[in-house]
C-alpha cells in the first residue's frame, strides 16, 4: 500500500520539476545537490497532501516511510520526510534519539538537511527530553562533520528562547577550534541566537575567546550586538 504512496510522491515531484529551479538549487550548495528541482512551496504542499493519508498511522510506520524517502538522497524527498517527522513531535519517545542520530550519520550530507532535521525535530525532542543534551555534547567529538554541526544547530531555537545557556557554552567550548567552516558557522549561529536573551553572557564569552575563535564564528556570534559591542569584539 505505502509503496504506492511513495511512488505517487515521486511521480508528483517529477512532474513539478523544472531545470531552472534545479540549477539554482544545485548552485546554492558548494558541493552540489541531488534534487528534482521543485520549488519549496510546492514540496510543502505535496508533504501536506500525502501526510493526510498517513496521519493516523503508528509513528513507527511513518518513520519507516520517512526512511524510504531519505534513502533516495533527493533533497525534496528529505524535506518531505523531515516535515513528517516534525509533525510527529508529540509522539516522540526517548528511543527515537537513536533513530535521529542514525539518520544524520546515514542520510545527512549537506547543511540544509542537517538544519531542517535539527532545528525542528531534534530541537523538539531535546525540549521534551533535556537529559539527552549530554548526547549532543558527545556529538561535538564525532569525526562526522554533520553530527558536530548538529550539536550546535539543534540548540538554535532553544537558545533564541533563552534556554540551556550553560549547555550552549559547553558545546561552543568543544567546537571552538573546529576546522570545518560549516561547523564554525553552526556554533556561531547558536551563540548569536543565545545573545538575544543572554547578551551580556555571550559578549563575555566572545571577549574571553576572541583571540582563538575563528573569525567566521565570531562574526556570526556578534551579529545581533549593538554596534559598539561589535566593534570591541572585532578588535584584535
How crowded is residue 150: how many other Cβ atoms within 10 Å of its Cβ?
27
Q: What is the pLDDT of residues 199-214, one digit of tens each?
A: 999 999 999 999 999 9
CB 193 within 8 A of CB 185: no
pLDDT the model gives residue 29: 79
How would residue 196 be classed by pLDDT, with cut points 50, 70 and 90? very high
Q: What is the pLDDT of residues 129-170, one digit of tens each?
A: 999 999 999 999 999 999 999 999 999 999 999 999 999 999
CA dist., res. 190 & res. 6, Å (int): 35
pLDDT the model gives residue 62: 97
* Mean pLDDT within 71-83: 97
pLDDT the model gives residue 210: 95
* Mean pLDDT within 89-114: 97
* Mean pLDDT within 86-110: 97
CA dist., res. 22 & res. 13, Å (int): 12
Inform me whether the pLDDT recorded for 116 exceeds 70.
yes
Instruction: State the DSSP code for 31.
Output: T
CA dist., res. 192 & res. 223, Å (int): 6
CA dist., res. 206 & res. 221, Å (int): 8
* Mean pLDDT within 76-90: 98
Inform me whether the pLDDT recorded for 99 exceeds 60.
yes
Inform me whether the pLDDT recorded for 26 exceeds 80.
no
pLDDT the model gives residue 1: 54
Mean pLDDT of the chain: 95
Amino acid at each position: 500500500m505505502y509503496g504506492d504512496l511513495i511512488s505517487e510522491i515521486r511521480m508528483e515531484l517529477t512532474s513539478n520539476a523544472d531545470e531552472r529551479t534545479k540549477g539554482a538549487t544545485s548552485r546554492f550548495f558548494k558541493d552540489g545537490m541531488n534534487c528534482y528541482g521543485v520549488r519549496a512551496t510546492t514540496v510543502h504542499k505535496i508533504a501536506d497532501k500525502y501526510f493526510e493519508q498517513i496521519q493516523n498511522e503508528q509513528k513507527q510506520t511513518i518513520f519507516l516511510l520517512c526512511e524510504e524517502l531519505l534513502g533516495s538522497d533527493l533533497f525534496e524527498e528529505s524535506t518531505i520526510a523531515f516535515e513528517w517527522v516534525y509533525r510527529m513531535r508529540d509522539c516522540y519517545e526517548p528511543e527515537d534519539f537513536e533513530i535521529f542520530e542514525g539518520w544524520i550519520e546515514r542520510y545527512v550530507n549537506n547543511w540544509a538537511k542537517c538544519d531542517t532535521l535539527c532545528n525542528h525535530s531534534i530541537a523538539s525532542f531535546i525540549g521534551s527530553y533535556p537529559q539527552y543534551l549530554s548526547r549532543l555534547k558527545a556529538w561535538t567529538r564525532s569525526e562526522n562533520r554533520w553530527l558536530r554541526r548538529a550539536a550546535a544547530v539543534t540548540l538554535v531555537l532553544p537558545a533564541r528562547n533563552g534556554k540551556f545557556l550553560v549547555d550552549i557554552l559547553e558545546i561552543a567550548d568543544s567546537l571552538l577550534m573546529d576546522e570545518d567552516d560549516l561547523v564554525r558557522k553552526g556554533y556561531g549561529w547558536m551563540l548569536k541566537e543565545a545573545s538575544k536573551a543572554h547578551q551580556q553572557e555571550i559578549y563575555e564569552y566572545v571577549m574571553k575567546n576572541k583571540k582563538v575563535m575563528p573569525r567566521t564564528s565570531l562574526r556570526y556570534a556578534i551579529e545581533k550586538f549593538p554596534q559598539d559591542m561589535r566593534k570591541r569584539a572585532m578588535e584584535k
